[in-house]
Amino acid sequence: MSSTRTRLAIGIAAALALATPLAIANADAATTLPTVLAAHPAAAPAATTYTAAQVLAAIQQHSTSATQVNTKPHINTMTRAQNVNVYQPASGVFVYTSSMAIDDDGSDPDPDPDHQGETTFQDSSGKQLAAHHVPFYVLGDDCWDNKTPCPHFFYKEHGISGRQFALVFYNGKAIGAIFGDTQTGNSQTTSDNDSRELGEASVKTASLLGIPSSGTTGGVDNGVTVAIFSGPSWVVNGTNANLSDNAQALVQNALNTLGASLAGGTTTPPPPSGTLFEAETGTLSSGGTFDSNHLGFTGTGFANPANAVGAYVQIPVTATTAGTKTLSFRYSDGTTAARPATITVNGTSRGTLNFPVTANWDTWSTATISVPLNAGANTVRVTGTVADGPANIDSVTVSQ
Ligand code: GCU
């Protein structure tokens, strides 16, 4: 299919979207977001640490079923294939790879008969975005299934609002772009387009990436990767005259931040000081597994004990001297309920330790308890007291 697409009723969708900016802003304010990828737009230009190729390779490595956000596939805007998925390779970053159909909407004139004068979002002066000047990408206007949570990736559920920064990768290059327009909500009945589509961006996005940028004959069918950085600190401000420059100024920062995060470097607090013992050196009760499908663990993985009362992970630890020591468990609990567990040392219960929820399974926290240890070898067992079993346990650190 060519990039000439029927968008006859997009004006209705745009008008609806324009009528609800307050609701969008409120929804975003209410969203609790991981702040690990906070942007520093005011900072001096970042030194090159991670290249576009390195970050794209790491994204692809972390785009697996374990990080997939949507449960129903999206539609490639150009080819119409229902084979596009959205992944969250790092906290707060949402990625898909699809086509680039060309959006020529907004305040720049364009001879394309489908050209619309309005974009869903505006520049910081309230002017419609200019597709020939501003690199912007397009997302679905609403949840196709009208469900919460949406079985598809729906931006309002993920702290994404107008002018949200994204890295767009194509052919070895990465550029900065902003969220500028939306794709045809459920209310539209006169077009074959719908909000499940992913894979459209503005004329300027295409031209910066060397993709044919005509609104009627341009575009590319596959191979464009969009990595959206959610949260208020990654919203780009500016006017049609400088939004592109402002977005490009964030590119190296974004590559470095995401690159470090995917390398396991900076998303999570370092384990507490002391001597660290990895959970994966231990043993699990029946049904438990040592996994590596969530980000940010240390060592080679983490313990995922079975979901049952009495399920446990037992970790061998050593102490140089006998006495009372602090055990700090590094754990994650991406559910909505805490997972208290009994801590048993050398076969004696030392009490129940609470493991409160963390933002998601990629976010690690610590829970500490003081226990007596022998000089030399000891065993520490974490036994679930609720039906969900213990939290995921990454390590235990022994300190004085
Ligand atoms: C999910 C998560 C696991 C976790 C499990 C649980 O499946 O991916 O890592 O252990 O939930 O509820 O315990």
Predicted confidence (pLDDT) per residue in 285-300, tens digit? 999 999 999 888 888 8
Confirm or reject: Cβ of 329 under 6 Å from ligand 1: no
Predicted confidence (pLDDT) per residue in 231-289, tens digit? 888 999 999 999 999 999 999 989 988 998 888 543 444 444 678 999 999 999 999 99
Confirm or reject: Cβ of 388 under 6 Å from ligand 1: yes
Whole-prediction pTM: 0.58
pLDDT of 270 reads 45
What confidence tier does 4 reach under pLDDT thresholds 50, 70, 90? very low
Q: Whose CA is nearest to atom 13 of ligand 1?
A: 307
H helices of 163-272, in order, are 203-209, 243-248, 251-262
Confirm or reject: Cβ of 361 under 6 Å from ligand 1: yes
Tell me how far the alpha carbon of residue 390 lies from the centroid of ligand 1, in angstroms: 10
The pair of structure tokens assigned to 18 is: 């324009």
CA atoms of 67 and 266, how far apart (whole Å): 18
Predicted confidence (pLDDT) per residue in 152-184, tens digit? 999 999 999 999 999 999 999 999 999 999 987
Tell me how far the alpha carbon of residue 229 lies from the centroid of ligand 1, in angstroms: 25
Predicted confidence (pLDDT) per residue in 26-60, tens digit? 333 333 333 345 554 444 455 667 899 989 999 99
Tell me how far the alpha carbon of residue 333 lies from the centroid of ligand 1, in angstroms: 8
Candidates 328, 167, 178; CA nearest to 261 is: 167
Distances from the Cα of 293 to the Cαs of 310, 390, 392, in angstroms?
Answer: 24, 17, 11
Predicted confidence (pLDDT) per residue in 334-383, tens digit? 999 999 999 999 999 999 999 999 889 988 899 999 999 999 999 999 99
Q: Would you say the C-alpha torsion 16, 22, 23, 25 has a positive or negative sign? A: positive
Best of 295, 297, 304, 358 for a ligand 1 pocket test (most atoms within 8 Å of beta carbon): 304
Confirm or reject: Cβ of 355 under 6 Å from ligand 1: no
Predicted confidence (pLDDT) per residue in 72-100, tens digit? 999 999 999 999 999 999 989 999 999 99
Mean per-residue pLDDT over the chain, rounded: 86
Sequence-distant (6+) residues with CB within 8 A of 106 are 116, 117, 118, 119, 128, 129, 130, 131, 134, 180, 181, 202
Ligand 1 atom with the smallest distance to the CA of 392 is 10
Ligand 1 atom with the smallest distance to the CA of 307 is 13
Confirm or reject: Cβ of 358 under 6 Å from ligand 1: no
Tell me how far the alpha carbon of residue 304 lies from the centroid of ligand 1, in angstroms: 7
Higher pLDDT, 212 or 363: 212
**Cα–Cα–Cα angle for 367, 320, 296, rounded to 5 degrees:** 35
User: Looking at the predicted structure, is the pLDDT value of residue 3 above 60?
Assistant: no
pLDDT > 70 in the chain, percent: 84
CATH number for 275-399: choose from 2.60.300.12, 3.40.50.720, 2.40.10.10, 2.60.120.260: 2.60.120.260
Tell me how far the alpha carbon of residue 66 lies from the centroid of ligand 1, in angstroms: 10
Ligand 1 atom with the smallest distance to the CA of 302 is 9
Sequence-distant (6+) residues with CB within 8 A of 29 are none
SS3 18: helix
Tell me how far the alpha carbon of residue 334 lies from the centroid of ligand 1, in angstroms: 8
Candidates 209, 182, 202; CA nearest to 101 is: 202
* H or E, element range at 11: helix 10-18
Adjacent-strand bridge partners of 393: 303, 331
Higher pLDDT, 298 or 389: 389
Confirm or reject: Cβ of 76 under 6 Å from ligand 1: no
Confirm or reject: Cβ of 304 under 6 Å from ligand 1: yes
The answer, yes or no, to whether the previous bond of 149 is cis (omega within 30 of 0) is yes
- Determine which of 43-52, 103-112, 118-127 has the lowest per-residue pLDDT on average: 43-52
Going from N- to C-terminal start, the domains of the chain cover: 29-262, 275-399
pLDDT of 126 reads 96
Tell me how far the alpha carbon of residue 92 lies from the centroid of ligand 1, in angstroms: 19
CA atoms of 77 and 195, how far apart (whole Å): 10
